[in-house]
Amino acid sequence: MAASKASRIGEEIWKTRIDKVNAELVTLTYGTIVAQLCKDFEDDYPEVNRQLDKMGYNIGLRLIEDYLAKSNTMKRCSNFRETADMISRVGFKIFLNITPQVTNWTADNNSFSLVFDENPFADFVELPDDGRAQNELWYSNILCGVLRGALEMVQMQVEAHFISDVLRGNDTTEMRVTLIRYIDDELPPEDD
């Protein structure tokens, strides 16, 4: 499916089928979760990243169904490039009203970057000034988990992680998504 068509679909769904919610409510809710995790794990940021990823994974497992229902998707993407376009132009569009850029493809078309020009989760946020958070915490790491969970449900095993974040002082916020393999259909257990 052409990228422009995906954009049109995303726009259409966003306008007509999505219940809107106050953006600050979302930002503050997510912020509270991250801040509380930091408190609960005593500023063990790698662990906070893991927890966020896990939460995202559980969200992704469900969110994909909502995505499929709202977008009326009947068939699979024909390749990973199409998948990337759908993630950005339909998925991110309808759930967060943003369309991160899909760039930096590897030659084998199995790995790409999502560059976030805006990130509604990170509005207002300043990372703790303890000398470690800037290097260890991936504030929006929940998004990696969401992608991993959602794509697993449509039979793609992927690995996703952030490689830069404006909150850390980088120029861009960039997530790297890599396809590991397509998961085969599960077969019914053999009868004894």
Partner 1 sequence: MSAAIPSVACLGVIGRNNNPLHISIFPSYDPLANAFTPIRNPLQFSLLLSSTIDVFDLRSKNSTASGDYGLLHAIDDRLAAYGFETNTGVRMVCIVDMRGRRVEAGGSGAVGPSAAALGAGGGGAAAPSMSASSLGAGSGGPSSLAGSSAAAATARSAVGSVGAGLRDAELKPVFRAMQSAYVRLLQNPFYDPDEHAPLGGKGGKRITSKKFGDAMKRIGEAWTPGVTTL
Partner 2 sequence: MVVYSFYIFDRHTECVYVKSWMPPQVPGTPAPVLSTGSDNAKLIFGTVFSLRNMVRKLGGDDDAFISYRTGQYKLHFYETPANLRFVMITDTGSASMRNVLHQIYINLWVEYVVKNPLAPVEHKGGAGVNNELFELGLDQFIRGLM
- Applying CB under 8 A, the residues found at the interface with partner 2 are 58, 61-62, 64-66, 68-69, 73-76, 153-155, 185-189, 191
Interhelix angle 142-153/45-71, rounded to 10 degrees, is: 40
Among 13, 26, 27, 168, binds partner 1 (CB under 8 A): 27
Closest distance to partner 1 from the beta carbon of 42 (Å): 14
Strands (E), the chain: 101-103, 111-116, 156-164, 173-182
d(C-alpha 151, C-alpha 126), whole Å: 31
Task: Compute the half-sphere exposure of residue 70: CA atoms within 13 Å on the CB side of its CA.
Answer: 22
**Member of 11, 44, 123, 136 binding partner 1 (CB under 8 A):** 123
Closer to partner 2 by Cβ: residue 68 or 125: 68
Here's the x/- map for partner 1, 30-49, by CB under 8 A: it reads as xxx-xx--x-----------
**Least spacing, CB of residue 22 vs partner 1, in Å:** 13
Q: By CB under 8 A, is residue 128 in contact with partner 1?
A: yes
- Closest by CA to 94, choosing from 14, 9, 23, 17, is 14
- The item of partner 2, partner 1, none sharing an interface with residue 68, based on CB under 5 to 8 Å by kind, is partner 2
Whose Cβ is closer to partner 1: residue 27's or residue 101's? 27
Structural Rg of the chain based on CA atoms: 17
Nearest-angstrom CA–CA distance, 168 and 179: 26
Q: Which residues bind partner 1 (CB under 8 A)?
A: 24, 27-28, 30-32, 34-35, 38, 123-129
